[in-house]
Structure 1
Amino acid sequence: MTATPEIMTAFTSGLADINLDESSTPRQGGKAAGMKKASATIYDMAATLSGGGDLWNWGMYDAGIAEEIRALLPGFGEPWTDGFSQQLYFLALRDLPVGLDGLAGRDVLEVGCGIGGGLDFLSRIVPGARMTGLDLSPVAITRANATLARGDSLRFVHGDAEELPFEDASVDVLVNIESSHTYPDLGRFLREVERVLRPGGHLSHIDVFTRQRYAAMRKTAAEIDGLEWTTDHDISAEVRAAVRRRMAPGSHFRKKLERQRLNPLMRQIVAHSQILMFGGMFAGYRPNSTIRALSRIGVVPWMSGLPMESYRHQIAVRR
């Protein structure tokens, strides 16, 4: 399973098209289908190659939140994980008005669950909830069901964020983390959220934004009558703190790379690629002289990505 240059080009050009246009114009037809096909292919490959672990998103660092998690899960953290991706997931439920205790017996849906590690973590934070993960990648869903699913308490289904395969008013909490910036039609996704949430249910939306995408998000959200937006917190500082800690010498991320059977040069290339993928530019990353030299001869990309300006946690309630 390979992401061809054509697929990569379709994906990166689609991301730019979506995130650099603040008009909130929906991408439909062939353009939307091409972006979704490229996304599914790339995330199929990621699901195949991923060893699991704890690198699911850019993460966040907040010492207080880490302590709250340890109180619920004694032993949480090193040497098994740096905990940054988990803190972001914990925030998605922690700040809901119902509180963690109020989620027992509720139906929680994550849209864009990947291989399911984040939702599996949340299922241990709130063991009494019924949790379902959905993703566009069939390989990710197959893997999640094979390795993590536990009956009605944790299950995974294949589907499209813009066409959710769930009945009206069937979900109490919908979680969407670092995913919606890839959706061709953000308004269609939010209308699906409005449809599947029960009255009084909540959307917990966490994502990274260009200036243009944030303007489009605000405009689109205001057009969805059934959702009342109650929270819009900028958590950029906490996200940058996590990314910088991952990049630092001696970090959990660096130690994991050192344990892999890679020669020193390949280890630098892998580290550079993952840092770019998981928020390096957002946190001020600059490659070292070796990577700069390799980039000049086309071995690795110099820098990549979109001009992301903020990382936000937004909460809406279904009227």
Structure 2
Amino acid sequence: MASRVFTHVLRLIERDAFPRTRKWAWRGLYDTLSRFWRDGDWRFMNYGYAPETPFALNPEDEPERVFIGLYHQAVDGLPIAGARVLEIGSGRGGGARYVARYFAPASVVGLDYSPATVARAERLNADTPGLTFRQGDAERLPFPDGSFDIVVNIESSHCYADVPAFAREAARVLAPGGWFTFADMRAKSMAADLDQKLAASGLEQVFAKNISAGVVRALDAAEARKRANMIKLPVARRFMTEFSGAQGSILYKELKKGGVVYLARRFRKAG
């Protein structure tokens, strides 16, 4: 049953059907997960990325390596030291925490649509100086023009009702010369449409890559940990197998054979 439901959801996303309803449903799902999945060490809600060349991490962060990897590929090489950073769709805050701890920004703000998730992120990451969280809508950002030097968006845009509006908002809150770094998955048939929607930002695209192979490597590396967590939720185990991209799930199979692609993009604002 869970596999059929998840397949149906993927098909709705592929057709871009019922965008407002999907946005409401995603918020409800993440609110529920934040209330009932209370693991103190679960700061990440992404599928991860394992590059072919490992990057440096502190020993205490090694258990989260594959999830941090998706953020590392997004920000590596960007001028973050002393910058004002915004993550749109920050979830439980692990990615924003990584940026705040490793790259010496002036500040990091994590924004998420789900109030329960924002509250959870604040509790999980209270130990990180310069990091704050705020509830808000990616399509109507609650910040003035030019508020940030770096905007990060990881595995969140598939929940949005209006991706062009989000792209325009990301550009609006960027200061001249600022960077917008993006990563998310789509059905292969939707990849060109996604790029067209992101182009609504008016920003210059400077980097584009299909990172699906590295995401599959990350899913494989995280398999044992996911299965261990699922034991705690026997009633929802079938659903969480699909939602988490565990081996054998629809998403895992589609990523592996290329029906779903995971795309990384970087843009820069003139200035």
TM-score bracket, shorter-length normalisation: 0.7 to 0.9
Question: Is the 8 Å Cα contact of residues 187 and 260 (structure 2) preserved in structure 1?
Answer: yes
- Tell me the equivalent position of 2:226: 253
5 Å-filtered alignment, 1:25-174, equals 31-50=18-37, 51=39, 52-53=41-42, 55-65=44-54, 68-70=55-57, 73-77=58-62, 81-96=63-78, 98=79, 103-149=80-126, 153-174=130-151
Distance 1:82 1:143 in 2: 18
Quote how far apart the aligned CAs of 1:140 are.
0.9
Distance 1:151 1:167 in 2: 25
Distance 2:250 2:56 in 1: 28
TM-score (norm 1): 0.72
Residue 219 of structure 1, aligned match among 171, 196, 215:
196
Distance 1:53 1:42 in 2: 16
Question: Is the 8 Å Cα contact of residues 240 and 282 (structure 1) preserved in structure 2?
Answer: no
Residue 19 of structure 1, aligned match among 14, 18, 31:
14
Question: Is the 8 Å Cα contact of residues 119 and 131 (structure 1) preserved in structure 2?
Answer: yes
- Tell me the equivalent position of 1:312: 263
- Greater shift, 115-124 or 215-224, is seen at 215-224
- Deviation per residue, 1:222-268 (Å, 9 max, x gap): 3433x000111111111111112333xxx3434x349x668xxx49x
Which one-letter code corresponds to 1:253 in the other structure?
K
Quote how far apart the aligned CAs of 1:55 are.
4.8
Quote how far apart the aligned CAs of 1:146 are.
3.3
Quote how far apart the aligned CAs of 1:112 are.
0.5
Question: Is the 8 Å Cα contact of residues 115 and 135 (structure 2) preserved in structure 1?
Answer: yes
In structure 2, relative to structure 1, the CA distance for the partners of 1:318 and 1:12 (3 Å cut) is farther
Distance 1:33 1:221 in 2: 19
Pair 1:229-2:205 in alignment? yes
Quote how far apart the aligned CAs of 1:90 are.
1.5
Question: Is the 8 Å Cα contact of residues 87 and 151 (structure 2) preserved in structure 1?
Answer: yes
- Deviation per residue, 1:42-100 (Å, 9 max, x gap): 111111122242552111112523xx232xx24542xxx1521111111111143x3xx
- Deviation per residue, 1:294-317 (Å, 9 max, x gap): xxxxxxxxxxxxx85211110000
In structure 2, relative to structure 1, the CA distance for the partners of 1:185 and 1:45 (3 Å cut) is same
- Deviation per residue, 1:171-202 (Å, 9 max, x gap): 11111011101111110000001100111111
Which one-letter code corresponds to 1:36 in the other structure?
K
Question: Is the 8 Å Cα contact of residues 93 and 204 (structure 1) preserved in structure 2?
Answer: yes
Number of aligned pairs? 259
TM-score (norm 2): 0.83
Quote how far apart the aligned CAs of 1:34 are.
3.0
Distance 1:142 1:54 in 2: 12
User: Can you give the 5+ residue segments of structure 1 that lack an aligned partner in the other structure?
Assistant: 1-8, 22-26, 286-306
In structure 2, relative to structure 1, the CA distance for the partners of 1:75 and 1:63 (3 Å cut) is farther
Q: Percent identity?
A: 31
Distance 1:154 1:84 in 2: 22
In structure 2, relative to structure 1, the CA distance for the partners of 1:193 and 1:136 (3 Å cut) is same
Q: Of the two, which has the highest radius of gyration?
A: 1
- Greater shift, 186-195 or 138-147, is seen at 138-147
